[in-house]
Structure 1
């Protein structure tokens, strides 16, 4: 029970600039995706993007907020959801295992993005009549790229800001002594 006690301090209060980044970034991100969807007749928005905005604009220093994690996490988990739905159906076991497999693959590819964990649920619960493999392109891939582009502008607005910490991580290996 000692482990459940807690006792750590709350994070510091956000600055005015940080609050505005959350307000403006989240609002503009969802507005642009909504507009693109309305004007094209193709879905650009999915519910997990709301949580992605929280991480991108309120926790931008987190590894979960880096472009590789946002784009890769959404792509990996959506692919898992689609393969599960079309390959194995929409049973409770498939639904449950798809989330676990999605988490494992995000970990393996070092692209963990917590909001993306909802993608297999969204896909499988929507069903084959609502979601096809084009879902990987839009909203998943293009929508996450748009959010990352908006984050690159919003999160670098203030001079003390520097985002992202890394883009893709390819070729960035720590050398062994």
Structure 2
């Protein structure tokens, strides 16, 4: 399913070209990990749609909250990661790539302007596109011989 991962990153990269004038990007590192989960281990708990979206949105919001309350630095990083793990355990939505979203926000100055919109973009929005692509690729795989 390497073709699915390639197509996913290529699609997000093309969207980057469109969004570049606005200073936005869709190809964030956690989405590379999402591709690995979706296209290599599609039956794993981390690939469940509930887990993916709950964790992506929740962990990103936790990152924004930690940055807002604690500012940049080691305390915000540590607190946001611990809170993200607790959130995923509490909501039963384990999705490891989402744990990197708070760190990305805290350390990514160009993302700070998104504020709480960061909970939906680029992580959750990218996941939506990758999930549609995964469903399409697996449909083709199951119904056509290549």
Q: TM-score range by the shorter chain?
A: 0.7 to 0.9
Counterpart-to-counterpart distance in 1, 2:69 and 2:101: 16
Aligned to 2:139: 156
Q: Please say if 1:100 is aligned against 2:79.
A: no
- Residues 1:68 and 2:50 are matched in the alignment: yes
Radius of gyration: which is bigger? 1
Q: How far does residue 158 in structure 1 lie from its aligned partner after superposition?
A: 2.9
Q: How does 1:89-168 map to 2 (within 5 A)?
A: 89-127=71-109, 129-131=110-112, 132-133=114-115, 134-159=117-142
> In terms of mean alpha carbon deviation, does 50-59 or 38-47 score higher?
38-47
Query: Structure 2 regions of 5+ residues with no counterpart?
Result: none
Whether contact under 8 Å (1:25, 1:150) holds in the other structure is yes
Q: Let me know the Cα RMSD of the aligned residues.
A: 1.6
CA distance in 1, matches of 2:53, 2:138: 17
Give the alignment partner of residue 58 of structure 1, picking from 40, 53, 58.
40
Q: Which runs of 5+ in 1 are unaligned?
A: 1-20, 161-177
Superposed displacement of residue 70, structure 1:
1.7
Aligned residues: 138
Secondary structure of the structure 2 residue equivalent to 1:74:
helix
Which has the higher mean CA deviation after the structures are superposed, 95-104 or 149-158? Answer: 149-158
